[in-house]
Structure formats: structure tokens, C-alpha cells
Structure 1
Amino acid sequence: MTVICRTLPFPRGSVMSDGIGTPADGDFAHLTGRLFAVPDELHKGGEDVILRCVQNDSGSALTLERKCVSFSTGGVTEFGSKIDGVAGTGGEVCKPMDDYYRGRRTSCPANDLMYVVDEGRVDIMTTADCTLEVGFVPIQMIGFGTIDQAIDKDVVIGTAMEAAADTDVTTAVCVFVDVGLKQIGTSV
């Protein structure tokens, strides 16, 4: 059974190093991969958002934006707890960065800890020329951390709560992120 904590190790909208210096690789390993429930203050859905604490394992600062990040595959203990950076290939198993960073912080230093949304509502950018013309359809990460409507056998990260405002340019769409890391047709 997964334990979901209610007390964040560092404030939402910040990173672990705020006020304490930059962590080294492996520092705070007891926090990475852990789940935390917080009230959804941005989307007014009345539900909690489940955040996953992850370490930026990309080797450089990561721009915090409304995009998806992919998990490190360097070892069993890294998947779900360390991220490689913005997801670059369509169909990757990924999670979106917490949109609470918007307007609060612009980057996460290398090896620092940050939050991704493991379950709940979050705004994610669509790809230009997306096919997301209706809401309440499964979505997947397409490339460069952006999303579009899912097609069979692609990794689904959640359900679009609305249609894209403009399908010709990148635009933010509210998505309900599915719990866990899974593909279409698999059970949770």
C-alpha cells in the first residue's frame, strides 16, 4: 500500500534548495518518490492534488513550465523518483510538472528536489496542431513535454477536462492526471 503524506517537506511552488543550498546527487533520497496530498488551490475542483517529490537528475537546471517530465531509467530505484528532464519522445511514461510553480519559480537546479503531479488536475501545454478538439478524452505526451489526444497503445497520462482553446498553437489545457505510471489497457 502506498503511503500518502499530508505534510510537504518543502513549500509548494519552491524547490528543496530554497534557503539551504543545492543538494548533491542522492541527497534527500528518503523523500524522492514519496507522495503528498495537498488541496487543489488552482483549479477549484474540490479534490486534493497528489504530488510526487522527484530529483532533477538531468545534469543541469530544469525550466519549470507546464510540461511533462520523463523518469530516469538508470536503475530500479530511480524510476518514479528521479527525472531526466522534459519528456522528449511521444509515448514516454511521464508526469507533468506541478503548475503551482507558474509565477513563483522559473527553474530547478541540477540534483534539486521538486514536485510533479501524480494524480489530480494540472494545466499542461498542448502541441501545436493538436487534435484535442473535445474534452474528456485520454491524453498522452507527444514530444517536448507537450500533450495531445491519445491513440491506441500509447502511454496515457490522464484525461483532458476541456478542449484546447486553439488547436493550431500551443495552449494550456486542464488535465486530470491518472494515478500511477501505466499504459492503456493495463490495470492500476
Structure 2
Amino acid sequence: MSMRTFGAVAEVIGRRTALRYLSMGIGASVLAACGLNNRLGEGPSTSRAAEGRPTRGAAAMAFAAFIRGKWKIESTTPGGDTGTGTATIDDGTWFIDWSGQGMWSGTWSLQGDRLALRVPERASSPDELADAAATNVPAIVSGPVDLFLPWQPPGHSGTGDGQKLEVAYDKNGGVLRVRHLEVSGSMTIHNCTRLT
């Protein structure tokens, strides 16, 4: 995206709104890449669906502009296991270099109110990708970022089992916090800090 295009997009939806989309997208991508069970990197069984599609529209272009870059990730599971890594996000793709676990990669796209992801299902098979998604992603966000989004974990066909993502962004500290909340009450926490 050229600076001219970015400037036009920022004028349409505002720089803050674009930053808020970043918070939702990076959080969902990180959560999906981390796996969803009580231990980092373990996910449900195999699921296949369409690859991520290019991001279109003013809001989606602003989202892509802000999500690009490098992020430091610190994740904690309900059992207290921790993991750290560095995420590199580009338009439609993401890579995470997990300390001690190697490189994971996948795709993302904002499709209306749905953030669609292709993510590894488990650490032992990082090349086996499955669909995941956050839904009800708002077109415009105003005020502080503190959202609850229905979550479709990898290998699930929808959001009907009640899992949610709580996404909060502290613009002063530059930290994005994503909590994956399961119906059972267990939660995985991901703190992401922009590096570039």
C-alpha cells in the first residue's frame, strides 16, 4: 500500500479506528497460532477450508496497514505454561518464530465482519493448517478498545460452542491483550507488544 493510499484510508476511517482493527487482528492471529488447549501448540483435529483472500475495502486496507510489522508475543496457558515469540505480519500472511519451537506461518483476511485465519493445528505439525475465525468484528470502533468476539477455533465449524476472544489495547503502553475464554472458564492470555 502506498503512502498516498494509506493517507486516503486513514482519512476515511481515522487512524485510531485503523489501530483498533490492528488490535483485533493481531490478537486473533496470535491466539490461533498458539493453539487453544491447556498447553501451548496443541489444537483440535484436522480441518480444511479455503485459503485467506486478499483484503479489500477502506476498513480492511487500514487494518492491513496497521497490522503489518513485528510483534513480541508472551502467552500463558491456564496450566501456567508460557511461550514467547516474535510475529511478523504482512498483508494476508503471518509468521511466528516461537522460542524453542521454530517457525509457524499462516494466512489472514478481513471479510466483512469476519477475521478469517489459516493456522497450524498443533506445534508438532506446523504445516497442517486449519480454518479459524473471529466474528462480529465491528466496522467502526470508538472509545477504548475492550471487545468480546465470538471465536471459531481451528477444526471447529463455527462459533456455536461459546468460545470468545476478549481483546483490549492499551495505547499508552502499546500492549495488546487477548484472552481466549472457553465455556469451562479456563483462559489463555496473550500479551503482544509492537516492535516495528
TM over 0.5: no
TM-score, reference length from structure 1: 0.25
TM-score, reference length from structure 2: 0.25
